[in-house]
Structure 1
Amino acid sequence: MSEIINNREQEEGKELNRKDMLKKIMKDLHDGRSVDEVKAQFEEAVGNITVEEISKLEQALMEEEGIPVEEVQRLCSVHASIFKGSIDDIHRNTQDEEPPGHPVHTFKLENKEIDYLVNFKLKLHYEKFEKEATDEARWKLIEDLNLLLDVDKHYSRKENLLFPYLEKYGIYGPTKVMWGVDDMIRAGIKEVKKKLLHYDGNKQAVLDDLDYVMRETVEMIFKEENILFPMALNTLTEDEWVKIAYESDEIGYCLTSPTVEWKPERKEVQESKWAEGMIQFETGNVSVKQLEAIMNHLPIDITFIDQDDVVRYFSHGKERIFARTKAVIGRTVQNCHPPKSVHLVEQLLIDFKSGVKDSEDFWIQFKDKFVYIRYFAVRDENGKYMGTLEFTQNISPIQDIEGEKRMLS
């Protein structure tokens, strides 16, 4: 027995030592050491690494070492190049290919199209523009970037459907880091498209931006397929994958779409039936079904966050302004926002909880809409904070109103 205990202690000691070495390597990168130096150190000291260890490493850097998520995002591409060829495929899901319609199969299907778009079409038009910045070459690049903007749907499904389930199992590091990099890719595509639309003759600036977008987009494919997806396949239940597949249509697909609906052979997930009980209010009573219908017919989008910052409810009208999926229910509101805007969410909640504010308003231009976003602190009869209500409305039609209307249409 003592021999078993000693062996176990030795193994645990090795794992702790290995984790410390990995963290040191990442901190060395953070402190400015060259990639070549760190890569040699990594290969000599660490060897192979599993996707789970990459996840825990990123989380430990943020939680234990206090490195801001923005810094880990900056290092993400650097350490991805180091980890290439060092990931232990033994720890991947034993099923090489997921069945058609499975969310991971769809993600990979999209990645093939993204890779083809970037490494064939975009690269070809990049080289033509590099040789001669003609209007034809410029518009070919703009067409490619318009297609690449479709990657937003791919990233949105990942962020709003897959990430919440990983966070449910305590996996936060990759979700925060990856979301931040997704946002940088989105912004990069829009920025280089803007430079091409309003081309001022600075060819190198356009080429540099294109280099960045192409490199980061391809790197993200690697990170998803070698780190994120294997980790998710090893973590999520079949029922959770079914729910992700069911809600994917709400957000949409990138450059392609699943050809079949995936249904596990062992069972079909049953949708919950409506509870038909009555709800008694001070001013009347309605059934659960009636109340749901009322909320979904309001010309606004409503989301409620409880006193612990957990998303508890959102209305689901015909034309939502911002996509919401059922996966956000039970998720903390901080993890429903990109890292770059979390500080605003935190400050708003602090002000509401302390009583400094009872409401806050924002208004933004979003696609073809002018969106009015209002937040209200919800308090009980004694003034105790119960949560926050988000109220979102497209007010463009209201701004266009003139005169009076007193007759039926």
Structure 2
Amino acid sequence: MSELINNREYRQEILKEVIRELHTGKTVDEVKAKFGKAIEGVSPSEISAMEQELVKEGLPIEEIQNLCDVHAAVFKGSIEEIHHPEEVPGHPIHTLRQENDAIQEHILENINPKLEAFRIEDSQNNINNLIEDINLLWDIDKHYSRKENLIFPYLEKYNITAPPKVMWGVDDEIRALLKEIKLLLKDYRGNKDEVVEKIKHATKQIEEMIFKEESILFPMALETLTEDEWIEIYDESDEIGYAIISPDTEWKLKRVDVDRKEKNNSLKDGYVKFETGILSSEEINQIFNAIPGDMTFIDKDDIVKYFSQDENRIFPRTKAVIGRSVQNCHPPASVHVVEKLLVDFKSGKKDSEDFWIKMGDLYVLIRYFAIRDENGEYLGTLEFTQDIAPIRAIEGEKRLLSD
């Protein structure tokens, strides 16, 4: 046993050394030649442990993210030989893999041929064809959102935090690339080479991410998460949606039906007494859900405790977010904004903060309020998000009931 532990510790040090040497500028071939034997048979859990240690030792997530493609290439030969547990059709991982197959097929059979046609002749027809295919590829946002909002929270409960942060950062890079490509095509100005280069870069990044999911994330998640946690992920998946394809079959698991019945039979009575009245738990829940906006509350320890379920929710929320650190609910690139806001609320420097952004036809107002007790002690933060485009469009007066 001690030999096994020592071997793991030795390999852990070697793997960290691989990343450090890449960071100092060594090429992939140099590293592979030197450490090829040491990394033979490396498992996803060991890569996860390696990244955790690097973060603990002070290497920023962004640094690991910059090396993500490189170290994937280094480990590719050994990881791809790992046995993947068999998944039942309808299981969340089975669906994610089906999506990956559909995404790869879309790139190979649609985007690549039409990109080549565009490279030869940048006619309006060829531009329109590319726009159509890139718009369909943007469906990948749902795939990444399910991964980030459903699988990552459960991995965090097992203290697996570094790989999700690294992967989320790369997901956001892919999203940003696709948005940029859509704008370049919509406002095409003859910059053919730039468009071709951007699309090739985006599809390469997507294919690399598929490899990382299939070879690292999925095996690690299957090895770590319990059946009950997969049931929760399955139940929440429809709320976010699917990329390019939808599950072709329901996950046939008896526990799913049992758990749903238990949830439906959960107690809905019980009353809460306020200073200005008394409401049942059911009334409170429905009142919050009827308010035309999304509400999310985090407590004084930055833990998500509640979100409303307005049918027109702007930003996706799943029940997996409950109990999650709010810092882990945001992409690495925007965490510093969240932390600065919370520092200002906790110190009393601010009591509220507003942001507003355009999202297609939506004009989204995002408001944050510091919640304090009667003595002024900080209890948490309330986020309220609302599409104010219909309000901004109001003119004149309305004094009569609608038909």
Aligned to 1:391: 384
Aligned to 2:158: 169
1:63 aligned onto 2:52: no
Q: Is the 8 A contact 1:274 1:288 kept in 2?
A: no
Q: More deviation in 264-273 or 131-140?
A: 264-273
Aligned to 1:198: 187
Using the TM superposition, give the Cα deviation of residue 211 of structure 1 relative to its aligned residue in structure 2, in angstroms.
1.4
Q: Is the 8 A contact 1:275 1:288 kept in 2?
A: yes
CA–CA distance in structure 2, aligned partners of residues 249 and 265 of structure 1 = 19
Aligned to 1:3: none
Gapped regions of structure 1 (runs ≥ 5): 1-7
1:82 aligned onto 2:74: yes
Using the TM superposition, give the Cα deviation of residue 192 of structure 1 relative to its aligned residue in structure 2, in angstroms.
1.6
Q: What is the correspondence of 1:303-314 to structure 2 with a 5 Å cutoff?
A: 303-314=296-307
Aligned mate of 1:180, from 169, 184, 197? 169
Aligned mate of 2:98, from 103, 109, 119? 109
SS in 1 for 2:171: helix
Using the TM superposition, give the Cα deviation of residue 48 of structure 1 relative to its aligned residue in structure 2, in angstroms.
2.0
CA–CA distance in structure 2, aligned partners of residues 219 and 80 of structure 1 = 8
Aligned to 1:4: none
Q: Is the 8 A contact 2:39 2:75 kept in 1?
A: no
User: Partner letter of residue 86 of structure 1?
Assistant: S
Using the TM superposition, give the Cα deviation of residue 136 of structure 1 relative to its aligned residue in structure 2, in angstroms.
2.5
CA–CA distance in structure 1, aligned partners of residues 186 and 228 of structure 2 = 46
Q: Is the 8 A contact 1:50 1:89 kept in 2?
A: no
CA–CA distance in structure 2, aligned partners of residues 244 and 13 of structure 1 = 36
Using the TM superposition, give the Cα deviation of residue 266 of structure 1 relative to its aligned residue in structure 2, in angstroms.
5.5
Aligned to 2:319: 326
1:269 aligned onto 2:259: yes
Aligned to 1:228: 217
Using the TM superposition, give the Cα deviation of residue 326 of structure 1 relative to its aligned residue in structure 2, in angstroms.
0.5
Q: Is the 8 A contact 1:49 1:88 kept in 2?
A: no
Number of residue pairs matched by the alignment: 398
User: Partner letter of residue 131 of structure 1?
Assistant: I
User: Partner letter of residue 226 of structure 2?
Assistant: T
Pick closer, same or farther for the CA change 1:354–1:266 going to 2, 3 Å. closer
CA–CA distance in structure 1, aligned partners of residues 255 and 365 of structure 2 = 46
CA–CA distance in structure 2, aligned partners of residues 325 and 145 of structure 1 = 27
User: How many percent of aligned residue pairs carry the same amino acid?
Assistant: 56
Q: Is the 8 A contact 1:51 1:88 kept in 2?
A: no
1:287 aligned onto 2:277: no
1:348-381 superposed Cα distances (whole Å, 9 cap, x missing partner): 0111111111111111112211111111111111
Q: More deviation in 242-251 or 187-196?
A: 187-196
Q: Is the 8 A contact 1:29 1:38 kept in 2?
A: yes
Aligned to 2:331: 338
Aligned to 1:5: none
1:163-182 superposed Cα distances (whole Å, 9 cap, x missing partner): 11111111111110111111
User: Partner letter of residue 338 of structure 2?
Assistant: V
Using the TM superposition, give the Cα deviation of residue 88 of structure 1 relative to its aligned residue in structure 2, in angstroms.
7.0
TM-score (norm: length of structure 2): 0.95
1:299 aligned onto 2:289: no
Q: Is the 8 A contact 2:41 2:78 kept in 1?
A: yes
CA–CA distance in structure 2, aligned partners of residues 198 and 266 of structure 1 = 51
CA–CA distance in structure 2, aligned partners of residues 200 and 395 of structure 1 = 34
CA–CA distance in structure 2, aligned partners of residues 261 and 403 of structure 1 = 51
Q: Is the 8 A contact 2:65 2:169 kept in 1?
A: yes
Pick closer, same or farther for the CA change 1:291–1:76 going to 2, 3 Å. same
CA–CA distance in structure 1, aligned partners of residues 16 and 165 of structure 2 = 18
1:200-246 superposed Cα distances (whole Å, 9 cap, x missing partner): 22222112111111101111111111111111111111111111111
CA–CA distance in structure 2, aligned partners of residues 355 and 16 of structure 1 = 46
CA–CA distance in structure 2, aligned partners of residues 298 and 9 of structure 1 = 59
SS in 1 for 2:371: strand
Q: Is the 8 A contact 2:12 2:50 kept in 1?
A: yes
Using the TM superposition, give the Cα deviation of residue 384 of structure 1 relative to its aligned residue in structure 2, in angstroms.
0.9
CA–CA distance in structure 1, aligned partners of residues 254 and 273 of structure 2 = 42
Aligned mate of 2:28, from 31, 35, 55? 35
CA–CA distance in structure 2, aligned partners of residues 25 and 259 of structure 1 = 42
CA–CA distance in structure 2, aligned partners of residues 131 and 331 of structure 1 = 50
Q: More deviation in 200-209 or 319-328?
A: 200-209
Q: Is the 8 A contact 2:80 2:215 kept in 1?
A: no
TM-score (norm: length of structure 1): 0.94
Q: Is the 8 A contact 2:236 2:319 kept in 1?
A: yes
Using the TM superposition, give the Cα deviation of residue 254 of structure 1 relative to its aligned residue in structure 2, in angstroms.
0.7
Q: Is the 8 A contact 1:353 1:385 kept in 2?
A: yes
CA–CA distance in structure 1, aligned partners of residues 182 and 271 of structure 2 = 54
CA–CA distance in structure 2, aligned partners of residues 312 and 371 of structure 1 = 23
Aligned to 1:216: 205
SS in 2 for 1:53: helix
1:239-291 superposed Cα distances (whole Å, 9 cap, x missing partner): 11111111111011111111222132466323431330111111110110011
1:127 aligned onto 2:116: yes
